Structure formats: C-alpha cells, structure tokens
C-alpha cells in the first residue's frame, strides 16, 4: 500500500503522495512509521530510488499515453473517428504515431469550429463531390479560424498557409483512411506542400535525444509530422 501511494498511478492520474500526506491519510501518529514501511518496500523491490535518492515514479509509454488520451476524449466516441483512431494507434509499426493526439485534437477543432459532424467530410455521391465539398468546408474553416485568432487570441504566428497546412493535413488523413484521397499535387487550401527552407540548415546534425525533443516541440506547436524535417 505504501509503495502504491509513493508511486501514484499515471493511468488513473493519481499523483504520488509524500510521506507526510501518507501519514495523515493513514492516521499514523508520526512519519517514522511510513519511513519504516517505505524501507521495507525498497528491500522488497516494490519501489526503487534513482541516483539522486528520489523515488522513481512510473511513466506511461507512448501507447499507454495514447490509450489514456482516447479514453478521456469524447470526440473519439464518434464511430467514424473511432475507427480512424484505431488506425492511428497502430500505424507506426504497431505503435501510435507521435502526432496522433495532435491529429485528433485538430480534427476536433475543425469540426467544432464549423459545427459539423466528422461525417460531413465524407458526404457526396462521387469522389469528386466529396473532395469538392470538403475543400469548401476547409476554406470556411480557415476563414473562421483566422477571424477567431485575430479578434480573440491575437495569435501572431497563425498565418493562413500554416493554418491550412496543419488542419488540411489532418482532414486529408481522416478522409484517406475512409477511402477518399486528394490527388498528388493538389493546390489551394488542401495542399500538402508548405514552404520550408531546408537548405539553410543542411549542415545541422542532431543527436537522437535532440531529434526526439525537436519532434515533440514541432508536433506540439505546429502539428508537423517528423518526416517534414527528417532526412
């Protein structure tokens, strides 16, 4: 019990408790009793310390984090979104894409901004009708999104090319999973291309750790998949 209190539970979002908190919770007269149980837990390898003497807390791996995110996101309950989410969960050699939660979040933003069901992006009697209708929806989304940022959030970095690329990429991915793909070289709001000056940084070399940090930063801030900057 002491071990579980000290470690917490990231799956249920239960934070680790301090010695003082545990003593109060279990109504012990002093903290020495808790320290005694903690020492026993250490001997039994129920908990362990790092090089600095701190209790090592459990961390969720990528798959666990994704599962937790999905379980707490009602948007994923939509049957069309749910099947797409299941694909995202296993797309990277059986593991979730690093940008999976960002993709889900952006699709939710698009649907909420337009006040439409995700199914709206798949409606039409022919493939061309579906693509044309979705293009119109995304044009409306970009206008509304930029208007909101200008009047409420005043986000200076939210340029139209950047916004259309990030969100169009998400919608294209969702549509492609359900059998509707834009042809290569599509122009306008649904284009996949974005101007990046790769040549300016041709000699920059990063370690694996730096690449992971860069990937997380780029995904969290701009939603760009790692293939954008990996060689």
Length of the chain: 231
**Same domain flag for 147 and 229:** no
Residue 49, domain member (yes or no)? no
Residue 118, domain member (yes or no)? yes
Averaged pLDDT, 154-181: 80
**Same domain flag for 119 and 212:** no
- Label residue 50 exposed, middle or buried (CB < 10 Å: 0-12, 13-18, 19+): exposed
Which residue is it, tokens 């694909």? 87
**Same domain flag for 96 and 9:** no
Q: How many CB atoms lie within 10 A of CB 107?
A: 22
Residue 69, domain member (yes or no)? yes
Reported as a pLDDT band with limits 50, 70 and 90, residue 202 is low
**Same domain flag for 10 and 93:** no
**Same domain flag for 186 and 218:** no
Q: What is the pLDDT of residues 21-46, one digit of tens each?
A: 888 888 887 778 888 888 888 888 88
**Same domain flag for 36 and 71:** no
Write phi, then psi, for 18 (nearest 5 degrees). -80, 170
Averaged pLDDT, 71-98: 89
Orientation of helix 79-90 relative to helix 100-114, angle to 10°: 160
Residue 139, domain member (yes or no)? yes
Domain count, the chain: 3
What kind and span of H or E run contains 34?
helix 32-43
CA 134, 138, 144: angle at the middle one, nearest 5? Answer: 145
- Domain of residue 93 covers 62-194
**Same domain flag for 216 and 190:** no
Tokens of 65: 């984090």
**Same domain flag for 176 and 138:** yes
In this structure, of 10-19, 97-106, 163-172, 179-188, the range with the lowest mean pLDDT score is 10-19
Residue 149, domain member (yes or no)? yes
User: What is the value of pTM for the model shown?
Assistant: 0.59
Query: In angstroms, what CA-CA distances link 46 with 5, 40, 64, 180, 205?
Result: 12, 9, 21, 51, 41
**Same domain flag for 71 and 162:** yes
Q: How many CB atoms lie within 10 A of CB 68?
A: 16
Running DSSP on this structure, what letter comes out for residue 83? H
**Same domain flag for 224 and 110:** no
């Amino acid at each position: 019990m002491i071990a579980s209190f000290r470690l917490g539970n990231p799956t249920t979002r239960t934070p680790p408790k301090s010695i003082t908190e545990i003593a109060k919770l279990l109504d012990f007269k002093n903290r020495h009793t808790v320290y005694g149980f903690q020492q026993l837990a250490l001997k039994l390898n129920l908990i362990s310390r790092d090089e600095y003497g701190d209790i090592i807390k459990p961390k969720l791996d990528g798959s666990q984090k994704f599962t937790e995110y999905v379980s707490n996101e009602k948007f994923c309950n939509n049957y069309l979104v749910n099947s797409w989410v299941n694909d995202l969960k296993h797309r990277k050699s059986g593991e979730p894409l690093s940008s999976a939660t960002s993709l889900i979040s952006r699709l939710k933003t698009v649907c909420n901004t337009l006040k439409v069901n995700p199914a709206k992006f798949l409606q039409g009697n022919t493939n061309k009708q579906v693509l044309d209708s979705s293009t119109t929806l995304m044009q409306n989304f970009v206008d509304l999104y930029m208007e909101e940022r200008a009047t409420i959030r005043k986000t200076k970095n939210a340029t139209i090319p950047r916004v259309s690329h990030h969100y169009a990429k998400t919608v294209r991915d969702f549509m492609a999973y359900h059998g509707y793909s834009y042809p290569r070289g599509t122009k306008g709001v649904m284009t996949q291309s974005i101007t990046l000056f790769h040549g300016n940084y041709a000699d920059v070399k990063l370690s694996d750790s730096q690449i992971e940090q860069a990937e997380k930063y780029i995904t969290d801030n701009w939603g760009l998949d790692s293939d954008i900057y990996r060689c």
